[in-house]
């Protein structure tokens, strides 16, 4: 699938469709206390049962008044509003009334009216004689089946209809034909490469694109049958769920779904009800189920957080929507385009946010798309994306809500990581996972590298931690720096300083570095690590050879010239920023996105002063933007294409702009195209790029204003 569609973020505003007036309330998926925008009565239960349909990155709803409303991606006219403008707010599909059935697949939607007329919009699957490259249908267009239509279904066969005469006909670009093997079916079950139908007897018959018939066995006890991808999912009378491969004609019983009481499916995946909760599985790409990131085409069933008493559900390409009992307001969640947010609007009120805001964080750290909050008496909680799972402790790739990292111990004083190597300090020890790149050669292949515990020189406690190139260094509270060199994660020789008694094979010792005293903090980026002091210039190890102050040996600690003692130092992609002992902020390097903060969009090889409202306490740097903390406020500058400056716009800025809504900040961190700040009460606010859970709010879209990280 095109990268464009894998990364788009549907606005998770997918929920809460509204009538023109008044606005219906949005029901958020929350843990206690619930997050509800405003108390208001649900829509009156009048008219037929509402229905949901979901395509790749858009959703539609047939309301009780038999009108259709759509929202989300609109690149191919999927919203049917006469434009190609994506929308986070539901918009009525004009020209449709008296709708009896609604369906969607990929980038196409269709509806059938009570009079038996079929209409479709979006990608032109059903136009007779449509040449390749024909423009999308931005408004509903009638599809002529030469007879009254009872039901339509979408698949690679095109637009197929069950006519009131009992025939099944399909229209695709340039062709129209009757699917004779499915004559007389009572309902259609579209699969990706097949079209199936359920006979009045309960048996299921399927046809491929060639219309060859295939009888599907063993469905006599089926209470419900739905399609998901190119398979059929069957809810049996005993509450078990089986999946049938239409291609191979074989069943597989799904143990995760045993005890299901209801079943819903669509072109991408399927959900079931059990114990008053909604469970979903089988969704392609990266799909968020109640805040838990999963990958692959067949993850295990996971419950949707805080959704009770589901009534029906629909699954899109990377999101899902559901109705609950007693309310006609759809709840939606997942990863999608995030239209309103991505275009600079205020945070969308329809965004479904699992969990209440997280509180009590003592510190926050971010790097490589992962952010972790540290607590005094709790395990660290981490969220975001990582290629190798060392930080998150999961192989599923990302977490859109904070998850506890029990593997680092009951609590952590400091954390640092690279994609394959993560460490946390607590007391006099540093516990790491993924040493030497996360795996090691073993008989028959590779195996995961075991964790190790590194001992610190006594007496010691860690003030900050840095990881670079598989090595780890700690700034101790007494001003010393202790490091474990690459390859030291084995027993150290007896004569090595700090080795002491023989070590466990998984253990190492961090050795104090000579000549480094009075260090307040260590920072690392791209193989270089620097020790910062209030009384002496910063000293760095692993300085690139092309830098004018690089040492002869990359292992030597070399003074950083030009600035003197530093409070803070941070590196981006080709630029860096620092705060000197007096609180002045300086930046140097690449500046074409304004990331140097000096008011110009150009490079500077030497440090350039950043004009701020007062002395800075800290500086944080992303790929092409930077932020500084000044008297509890946060100021940002540079690139802003994902809202990483937090000023409710997408405008890049060459001079600092204050981030509204951030007061009492005690920490600011940045990476790539997002920024986070810890504020009073231990809350963490994040803004910018939200893909793969980087903002920790359970969503997947970009956000140009600060929003809280939420608990599970």
User: For 551-568, how does the pLDDT look when each residue is reduced to its tens digit (9 = 90+)?
Assistant: 666 678 888 888 889 999
Element (H, E) at 7: helix 3-7
pLDDT exceeds cutoff 80 at 164: yes
What is the DSSP secondary structure assignment for residue 102, as one 8-state letter?
Answer: E
pLDDT exceeds cutoff 60 at 545: yes
pLDDT exceeds cutoff 80 at 16: no
pTM beyond 0.85, yes or no: no
Average pLDDT estimate for 606-618: 95
Element (H, E) at 104: strand 99-105
Asked whether 109 and 102 are in contact (CB, 8 A), the reply is yes
Q: How far apart are CA 215 and CA 223, in angstroms?
A: 18
Domain ranges of the chain: 3-342, 365-561, 565-712
pLDDT value of residue 475: 93
Q: How far apart are CA 341 and CA 650, in angstroms?
A: 10
pLDDT value of residue 675: 98
pLDDT exceeds cutoff 60 at 658: yes
- What are 588-595's contacts with CB under 8 Å, separation 24+? 590/624, 591/654, 593/624, 593/625, 593/638, 593/639, 593/652, 594/637, 594/638, 594/639, 594/652, 594/653, 594/654, 594/655, 595/621, 595/624, 595/625, 595/626, 595/637, 595/638, 595/639
Mean pLDDT for all residues in the chain: 76
- What are 496-499's contacts with CB under 8 Å, separation 24+? 498/455, 498/457
Q: For domain 365-561, which architecture applies?
A: 7 Propeller (2.130)
Average pLDDT estimate for 640-653: 93
| The domain over range 565-712 is classified in CATH as 2.130.10.30 | yes
pLDDT exceeds cutoff 60 at 172: yes
pLDDT value of residue 318: 67
Average pLDDT estimate for 181-191: 86
Please identify, in words, the CATH class of the domain defined by 3-342: mainly beta
257 backbone dihedrals φ, ψ, rounded to 5°: -100, 10
Q: Which of the residue ranges 32-46, 130-144, 272-286, 597-611 has the most confident prediction, judged by mean pLDDT?
A: 597-611
Average pLDDT estimate for 654-676: 96
pLDDT digits (tens, 9 = 90+) for 464-496: 999 877 678 899 999 999 887 655 544 333 333
3-state secondary structure of 133: coil
Q: Which of the residue ranges 190-194, 269-273, 312-316, 618-622 has the most confident prediction, judged by mean pLDDT?
A: 618-622
pLDDT digits (tens, 9 = 90+) for 205-253: 877 644 444 555 546 667 788 877 667 788 887 888 877 765 555 555 5
Average pLDDT estimate for 642-655: 94
Average pLDDT estimate for 385-413: 72
Q: How far apart are CA 225 and CA 206, in angstroms?
A: 13
Average pLDDT estimate for 594-616: 94
- 552 Cβ partners below 8 Å, 6+ apart? none
Average pLDDT estimate for 38-62: 71
Asked whether 574 and 546 are in contact (CB, 8 A), the reply is no
Nearest to 56 by CA among 287, 260, 244: 287
Average pLDDT estimate for 75-90: 85
The rounded percent of the chain whose pLDDT value lies above 70 is 70
pLDDT value of residue 401: 79
pLDDT value of residue 322: 85
pLDDT exceeds cutoff 90 at 374: yes
pLDDT value of residue 19: 33
Question: Greatest CA span in the chain, whole angstroms?
Answer: 91
pLDDT value of residue 290: 35
Q: How far apart are CA 53 and CA 122, in angstroms?
A: 14
pLDDT exceeds cutoff 50 at 312: yes
pLDDT value of residue 223: 79
pLDDT exceeds cutoff 60 at 337: no
pLDDT exceeds cutoff 70 at 13: no
pLDDT value of residue 287: 36
The rounded percent of the chain whose pLDDT value lies above 90 is 33
Asked whether 214 and 229 are in contact (CB, 8 A), the reply is no
* Banded pLDDT at 397 (limits 50, 70, 90): low
pLDDT exceeds cutoff 90 at 605: no
pLDDT exceeds cutoff 90 at 638: yes
Which has the minimum average pLDDT: 11-15, 95-99, 540-544, 640-644? 11-15
Q: Within 10 Å of residue 112's Cβ, how many Cβ atoms?
A: 23
Average pLDDT estimate for 19-25: 33
pLDDT value of residue 696: 87
pLDDT exceeds cutoff 50 at 506: no
Q: Which residues pair with 252 in a beta bridge?
A: 243
pLDDT value of residue 393: 66
pLDDT exceeds cutoff 90 at 673: yes
Average pLDDT estimate for 321-349: 55
> Given this chain, do its domains 3-342 and 565-712 carry the same CATH topology?
yes
Q: How far apart are CA 14 and CA 336, in angstroms?
A: 9
* Banded pLDDT at 581 (limits 50, 70, 90): very high
- 353 vs 30, residue with greater confidence: 353
* Banded pLDDT at 386 (limits 50, 70, 90): low
pLDDT exceeds cutoff 60 at 516: yes
């Amino acid at each position: 699938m095109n990268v464009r569609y894998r990364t788009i973020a549907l606005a998770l505003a997918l929920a809460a469709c509204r009538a023109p007036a008044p606005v219906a309330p949005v029901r958020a998926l929350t843990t206690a206390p619930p997050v509800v925008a405003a108390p208001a009565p649900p829509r009156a239960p009048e008219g037929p049962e509402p229905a949901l349909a979901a395509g790749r990155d858009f959703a539609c709803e047939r309301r009780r008044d038999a009108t259709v409303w759509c929202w989300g991606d609109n690149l191919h006219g999927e919203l049917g509003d006469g434009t190609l403008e994506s929308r986070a707010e539901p918009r009525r599909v004009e020209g449709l009334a008296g709708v009896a059935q609604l369906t969607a697949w990929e980038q196409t939607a269709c509806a059938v009216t009570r009079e038996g007329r079929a209409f479709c919009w979006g990608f032109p699957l059903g136009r007779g004689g449509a040449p390749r490259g024909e423009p999308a249908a931005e408004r509903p267009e009638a599809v002529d089946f030469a007879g009254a239509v009872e039901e339509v279904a979408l698949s690679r066969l095109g637009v197929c209809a069950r006519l009131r005469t009992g025939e099944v006909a399909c229209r695709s670009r340039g062709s129209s034909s009757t699917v004779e093997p499915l004559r007389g079916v009572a309902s259609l079950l579209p699969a990706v490469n097949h079209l199936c139908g359920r006979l009045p007897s309960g048996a299921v018959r399927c046809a491929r694109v060639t219309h060859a018939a295939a009888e599907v066995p063993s469905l006599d006890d089926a209470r419900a049958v739905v399609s998901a991808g190119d398979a059929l999912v069957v809810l049996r009378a005993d509450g078990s769920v089986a999946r049938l491969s239409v291609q191979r004609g074989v069943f597989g019983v799904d143990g995760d779904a045993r005890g299901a009481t209801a079943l819903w499916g669509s072109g991408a995946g399927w959900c079931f009800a059990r114990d008053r909760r909604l469970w979903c599985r089988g969704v392609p790409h990266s799909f968020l189920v109640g805040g838990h990131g999963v990958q692959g085409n067949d993850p295990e069933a996971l419950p949707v957080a805080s959704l009770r008493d589901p009534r029906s559900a629909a699954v899109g390409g990377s999101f899902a929507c559901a109705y609950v009992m007693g309310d006609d307001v759809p709840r939606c969640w997942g990863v999608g385009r995030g239209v309103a947010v991505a275009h600079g609007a205020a945070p969308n009120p329809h965004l479904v946010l699992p969990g209440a805001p997280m509180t009590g964080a003592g510190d926050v750290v971010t790097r490589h798309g992962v952010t972790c909050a540290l607590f005094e008496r709790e395990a660290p909680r981490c969220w975001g994306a990582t290629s190798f799972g060392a930080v998150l402790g999961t192989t599923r790739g990302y977490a859109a809500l904070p998850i506890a990292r029990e593997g680092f111990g009951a609590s952590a004083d400091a954390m640092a990581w690279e994609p394959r190597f993560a460490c946390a300090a607590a007391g006099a020890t540093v516990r790491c996972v993924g040493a030497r790149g996360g795996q090691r050669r073993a008989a028959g292949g590779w195996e995961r590298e075991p964790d190790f515990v590194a001992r610190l020189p006594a007496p010691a406690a860690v003030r900050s931690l840095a990881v670079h190139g598989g090595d780890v260094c700690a700034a101790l509270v007494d001003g010393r720096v202790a490091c474990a060199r690459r390859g030291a994660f084995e027993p150290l020789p007896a004569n090595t300083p700090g080795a002491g008694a023989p070590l466990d094979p998984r253990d190492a010792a961090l050795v104090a570095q000579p000549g480094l005293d009075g260090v307040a903090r260590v920072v690392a980026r791209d193989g270089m690590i620097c020790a910062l002091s209030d009384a002496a210039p910063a000293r760095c190890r692993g300085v690139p050879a092309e830098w004018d102050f690089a040492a002869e040996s990359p292992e030597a600690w070399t003074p950083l010239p030009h600035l003197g003692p530093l409070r803070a130092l941070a590196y981006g992609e080709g630029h860096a920023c620092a705060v000197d002992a007096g609180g002045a902020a300086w930046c140097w390097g690449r500046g074409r996105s304004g990331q140097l903060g000096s008011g110009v969009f150009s490079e500077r090889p030497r440090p350039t002063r950043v004009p701020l409202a007062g002395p800075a306490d800290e500086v944080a740097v992303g790929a092409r933007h930077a932020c500084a903390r000044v008297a509890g406020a946060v100021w940002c500058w540079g690139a802003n294409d994902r809202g990483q400056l937090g000023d409710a716009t997408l405008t890049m800025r060459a001079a600092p702009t204050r981030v509204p809504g951030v007061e009492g900040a005690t920490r600011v961190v940045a990476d790539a195209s997002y920024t986070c700040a810890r504020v009073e009460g231990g809350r963490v606010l994040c803004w910018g790029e939200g893909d793969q859970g980087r903002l920790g709010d359970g969503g997947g879209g970009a956000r140009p204003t600060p929003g809280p990280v939420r608990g599970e």
